[in-house]
Chains A and B, each alone.
Chain A
Amino acid sequence: MTNTAIIQFNNVTKQYDHDAPVLDHVSFEIERGKFYTLLGPSGCGKTTILRLIAGFTEATSGDIYFNGKKINHIPANKRQVNTVFQDYALFPHLNVFENVAFGLRIKKMKKSQVAAKVKEALSFVNLSGYEDREIKEMSGGQRQRVAIARAIVNEPEVILLDEPLSALDLKLRYQMQYELRELQRRLGITFIFVTHDQEEALAMSDEIFVINKGRIQQSGTPIDIYDEPINRFVADFIGESNIAKATMIDDFLVAFGGEQFSCVDQGMNPNEPVEVVIRPEDLEITSFENGMLQVEVNSQLFRGVHYEITGLDKEGNEWLVQSTKKAAVGDKIGLRFDPEAIHVMRFNETEEDFDRRLDSYSEGEADGK
């Protein structure tokens, strides 16, 4: 374990009775002071990870370490983590001040100290002067801030956030994304944020864990995960993608849509069946003759900033293009893209193998990644 790891999961499995496991031999490390996001569809196990860290549930097998100490059986009220709940879970019978002071009062802190700390925490979330308000008088965004203040006032080493923005409207959600990120930087506390919203995850995180069916599919920085998705699930879940069946003819040469293209991927078996991903924003519309790939347009939507055009190639793969140029349904157009835009994914590749393969590319190149 590295020195900076604050939380470590070691082959953690969580299973209820004889159902399929909610978490299936999950291992990862959380480093101190970073903003982590657990991203995945509902029911993927991301909230279970959070509950395991908070101590609301116990792992069926495997070990959980906090600061190097095993915490599997330590009850929630003895752990140095605090949670911001999805429904905020503010105490309705207490006002804002008492809600934030709850944890401090349990620690039997002196009254003057409690008052000072609550004041500071409320100012951190821009709620100074709201001390005497009742919870039911607060708006959704304000309640959210109270919940965050109630967590940070205890100065935990880790704050767990369980889809805290999902109940807010779009504009407020964007604003809170900035504020949360900013708050995390200022406090330097480790944040573990759970969401199913990939945009939120990309915008806020230092590290993202993409989770599906109780397993971590891929972990990495937002850019890594967006640019180099490990498999179809990740590519599909994060951003818009065009995914096509392909064959890796040789190193740097891949075939799909009835054509062969040069690419930057290597290290696979000759003629290995693979999948390729090309992000819609990497496709450029050109004339039929100049196109590297020819498609027939079958739909077009106006999205404001751009047109969203889909077309079918001769193998029947659908290609989504975001373009400021207009096309018409039934048009035959050409698509252009750079070799770097093609991302090749092997079937059933583990994250370790994937990382090793990507590392070998950068070793091959003089200037690295």
Chain B
Amino acid sequence: MENKVSKNLYMIPYALWIILFVIAPILLVLYYSFFDIEGNFSLVNYKNFFTPVYLQMTLSSFWYAFLITAISLLVAYPTAYLLTRTKHKHLWLLLIIVPSWINLLLKAYAFIGIFGAYGVANNFLEWIGIGSRQLLFTDFSFVFVSVYIFIPFMILPIFNALDNLNPSLLYAAKDLGASGWTTFRRVVFPLTIDGVKSGIQVVFIPALSLFMLTRLIAGNRVITLGTAIEQHFLVTQDWGMGSTIAVFLILIMFLFMGLTGFRKRGA
């Protein structure tokens, strides 16, 4: 009995945290979503969400999140694979993770400097003879910087999955006649799919709601759901519409989590 009591005692901080910072905000968001801009109870926000403006925004959010996730995965998987082969793999991994400790805003400002009209990137293009061009405030720079920011989060779970892979399985596949590519397709990838899934989750979901980068790097040319929420809360003061978008974003996240599956085999 006493054991159970003390167990429940230990649960208090966690429960408090969840109630105050997860459940309460979600309920508040849900509550606000039912009020129009004048403060009257209505479903008009939900109706508005299904207008072309917001649907287009949702679509473009998805498109950019998909691009960012796909490119991150394409870069991260081979990187993680190479890392597991190096001698001091944990040191190299640390070096990749360290930039993620730096404040996002600082990194964004750094990229403004790099991609600016007289930045390092343009100097380089000038030097190799292509000539300087508009880099900042383009789709390219937005996706590039986003991928840069998310890549450690993609590498980490994939690295762990690859690192846990029993090397004798690779020998076994080879022994049974599999070429390098077949071994990858039939053994390595299926066995690290859980790592890939968690990588996709931790990149795709935050990428859906990116908002700071859309302004700083993409110059508001890219408007995602995250940007819309920010604008509604801070600029138009339409908390109801902002909340409604947030509700949809939360629903999409849960749907996505369900689709990619929760981690099972502890990748």
Contact call B177/A106, Cβ cutoff below 8 A:
yes
Among A75, A82, A87, the residue within 8 A (CB) of B166 is A87
B173 within 8 A of A: yes
A93 contacts across to B, CB distance below 8 A = 190-191
Interfacial chain B residues near A55, Cβ < 8 Å: 174
Q: How far is the CA of A106 from the CA of B166 in the complex (A)?
A: 21
CB within 8 Å of A: which B245-267 residues: none
Does A77 lie within 8 Å of B191, measured CB to CB?
no
A89 at the interface (CB under 8 A from B): yes
Nearest residue (CB) in B for A160 is B175
Q: In the bound complex, do residue A102 and residue B176 qualify as a contact, i.e. CB atoms below 8 Å apart? A: yes
Give B191's nearest chain A residue, CB to CB: A93
Q: With an 8 A cutoff between CB atoms, is A85 at the interface?
A: yes
- Closest chain B residue, CB of each to CB of A106: B177
Residue A18 is within 8 A (CB to CB) of chain B in the complex: no
- The smallest beta-carbon distance between A124 and chain B, in angstroms, is 17
Contacts of A75 on B, CB cut-off 8 Å? 174
> C-beta contact mask, A69-84 vs B, less than 8 Å → 1, else 0?
0000001111001110
B179, closest chain A residue (CB): A77
Nearest Cβ on chain B to A106's Cβ, whole angstroms: 5
Is A54 an interface residue, CB under 8 A from the partner?
A: yes
Q: Is the interface of A mostly helix, strand, loop or mixed?
A: loop
Complex contact A106–B168 (CB within 8 A): no
Shortest Cβ gap from A331 to chain B (Å): 54
* Total CB contacts across the A-B interface at under 8 A: 57
Closest A residue to B265 using CB positions: A92
Contact B177 A103 (CB under 8 A): yes
B168 touches A85 (CB 8 A): yes
Q: Is the CB of A106 within 8 A of B175?
A: no
A91 within 8 A of B: yes
Give the size of the chain B interface in residues (CB under 8 angstroms): 17
Contact between chains at B174 and A89 (CB < 8 Å) = no
Which A residues lie within 8 Å of B175 (CB)?
A: 54, 56, 76-77, 81-83
Residue of A nearest to B176 (CB): A103
A107 in contact with B177 given A85-B171, A85-B172, A87-B166 (CB within 8 Å): yes
Residue in B closest to A85 when the chains form the complex, CB atoms: B168
Is residue A154 within 8 Å, beta carbon to beta carbon, of the partner chain?
A: yes
CB distance from B188 to the nearest CB of A (A): 11
Contact B177 A89 (CB under 8 A): no
Across the two chains, which residue of chain A brings its CB closest to B174? A76
The residues in A between 57 and 116 inclusive whose CB is less than 8 angstroms from any CB of B are 75-78, 81-83, 85-87, 89-93, 102-103, 106-107
Cα A154 to Cα B169 in complex, Å, equals 17
Q: Which residues of A contact B186 (CB under 8 A)?
A: 102
Cβ-defined contact, A82 with B176, below 8 A: yes
- Chain A residue with minimal CB distance to B171? A56
Most chain A Cβ neighbours within 10 Å, of B177, B178, B191: B177
Interchain CB contact under 8 A, A83 and B177: no
Nearest Cβ in chain A — how far from B20, in angstroms?
A: 41
Q: Give the residues from 136 to 182 in chain A that come closer than 8 angstroms, CB to CB, to chain B.
A: 150, 154
Question: Is B212 close to A, CB under 8 A?
Answer: no
Pick the contact of B178: A56, A77, A85, A89 (CB < 8 A). A77
Is B171 a contact partner of A83 (Cβ separation < 8 A)? Answer: yes
Shortest beta-carbon distance from A184 to chain B in Å:
19
Identity of the chain A residue whose Cβ is nearest the Cβ of B180 in the assembled complex: A77
Given contacts A91-B187, A93-B190, A106-B182, contact A150 B176 (CB under 8 A): yes
Chain A residues positioned under 8 Å from B169 (CB to CB): 89, 91
- Residues on A with C-beta less than 8 A from B173 are 91, 102
Q: With a CB–CB cut-off of 8 A, which chain A residues contact B187?
A: 91
In the complex, what residues of A have CB within 8 A of residue B176's CB? 77, 82, 102-103, 106, 150, 154
Q: Mark A38-66, 1 if CB is under 8 A from B, else 0.
A: 00000000000000001110000000000
CB 8 Å contact bits of B147-171 with A (1 = contact, 0 = none): 0000000000000000000101101
Asked whether, in the complex, the Cβ of A56 is within 8 Å of the Cβ of B172, the reply is no
Using a CB–CB cutoff of 8 Å, the interface residues on chain B facing chain A are 166, 168-169, 171-179, 182, 186-187, 190-191
A-B contact list, 23 entries, CB within 8 Å? A56-B171, A56-B175, A75-B174, A76-B175, A77-B174, A77-B177, A77-B179, A78-B177, A81-B175, A83-B171, A85-B168, A86-B168, A89-B172, A91-B169, A91-B172, A92-B191, A102-B176, A102-B178, A103-B176, A103-B177, A107-B177, A150-B176, A154-B176
- 12 further interface pairs, Cβ-Cβ under 8 Å (given A56-B175, A89-B168, A150-B176): A56-B171, A76-B171, A77-B175, A83-B172, A85-B172, A89-B172, A91-B191, A93-B190, A102-B178, A103-B177, A106-B178, A106-B182
